[in-house]
Amino acid sequence: MLSAPHDTSIELAKRLDARAELFQVVSSTPLGASLHQVVLSGDPTLAGVAGNDVMVRLLDAKGKHVRRRYSVRSVDHEVGQLTLWIVTGHEGAGARWAREASPGDQVDLVGPRGKITLDPLADWHLFLGDTSGLAAFYRMAESIETPGRAIFVVEVDDIDDALTAPFDEGLGVTGIFVERNGRAYDDPAGLLGGLAAFEMPAHEGHAYLFGEFHVMRALGIALADRGMQEEQLSHKAFWRAGRHNAEHGEPEKDL
């Protein structure tokens, strides 16, 4: 049993103005065809605020340590647990860890991380992306002050992954799940179609775009074409088709 996080995690946390802590796996449960829920026990303050994520230190297939970032789905401050929703339908260090994590396994976390949080002034909030964004989308929507409005347009590989969440009665919720139907991971057609089916509400809104690198770029352009201003858009590529995420936990941005 370890008693402290690895030195490299402590150094990284210092550099990022975050904290490094050792967590223990409580459970790993499949939620859908390609989504696992992993519950960890440890210092819950690493979960930060809605929209934040934690960085997990893992072993890849070659036995090398890598880090992957996962948005926090929910946090229980009383029992000291946080929950992650991790896409597991592909082969990667993060996906494998989530599938195979067993109760009692120890893991280093660095957090809280992330700069995209809810825009408190927006009249409506549009959450747009794929299954990797669901945890952040739902936690952020749960933090909307009621009455408010949340719209979700989410592409799923399998309809089994179209998980919903119970929201406060004062929150108006519209959800559109788009099935991938064999389209390539960097093809934005599914989400562009879902977006086209949706009429932009009146007043000021904010859009949050989390998912595949190329798809997020195409959606940002589509939303700008529909009149949304730069300051109304928060987008982050969570992963990139055909490539591992880089050492810092994010996809590379070269074209």
Joined tokens for residue 66: 């890598």
Q: What are residue 158's phi and psi, to 5 degrees? A: -140, 135
Residue 191 makes contact with ligand FAD by CB under 6 A: no
Residue 92 makes contact with ligand FAD by CB under 6 A: yes
Please identify, using beta-carbon distances, which residue of 67 and 206 lies nearer to ligand FAD.
Answer: 67
The answer to whether residues 241 and 221 touch, using CB atoms and an 8 Å cutoff, is no
Give the interface segment with ligand FAD, choosing from 8-16, 75-83, 92-100, 221-229 (CB under 6 A): 92-100
Listed in sequence order, the residues at least 6 apart from 145 whose beta carbon sits closer than 8 Å to its beta carbon are 120
Residue nearest to ligand FAD (CB): 92
Residue 244 makes contact with ligand FAD by CB under 6 A: yes
Please identify, using beta-carbon distances, which residue of 68 and 149 lies nearer to ligand FAD.
Answer: 68
Give alpha helix (H) positions in 36-188.
Answer: 93-100, 134-142
**Residue 59 beta carbon to ligand FAD: minimum distance, rounded to whole angstroms:** 10
**Residue 203 beta carbon to ligand FAD: minimum distance, rounded to whole angstroms:** 28
**Residue 55 beta carbon to ligand FAD: minimum distance, rounded to whole angstroms:** 9
Joined tokens for residue 62: 């070659």
Sheet (strand 171-179) strand order: 171-179, 148-156, 124-130, 205-212, 233-239
Residue 214 makes contact with ligand FAD by CB under 6 A: no
Please identify, using beta-carbon distances, which residue of 26 and 87 lies nearer to ligand FAD.
Answer: 87
Residue 77: is it exposed, middle or buried by C-beta count within 10 angstroms (0-12/13-18/19+)? exposed
The answer to whether residues 241 and 214 touch, using CB atoms and an 8 Å cutoff, is yes
Residue 132 makes contact with ligand FAD by CB under 6 A: yes
Joined tokens for residue 41: 């026990």
Residue 135 makes contact with ligand FAD by CB under 6 A: yes
Half-sphere exposure of 203 (CA within 13 A, CB side): 8
Please identify, using beta-carbon distances, which residue of 149 and 238 lies nearer to ligand FAD.
Answer: 238
Distance, in Å, from the CA atom of 133 to the CA atom of 150, rounded to the nearest integer, reads 14
Binding to ligand FAD, residues 93-112 (CB under 6 A):
93-95
Number of residues in contact with ligand FAD under rule CB under 6 A: 29
**Residue 19 beta carbon to ligand FAD: minimum distance, rounded to whole angstroms:** 17
Interface pattern 61-90 for ligand FAD (x via CB under 6 A): -------xxxx-------------xxx--x
Residue 39: which of 28, 31, 48, 49 has the closest Cα?
Answer: 28
Residue for token pair 């919720």: 173
Footprint of ligand FAD (CB under 6 A): 53, 68-71, 85-87, 90, 92-95, 114, 132, 135-136, 185, 236, 238-245, 249-250
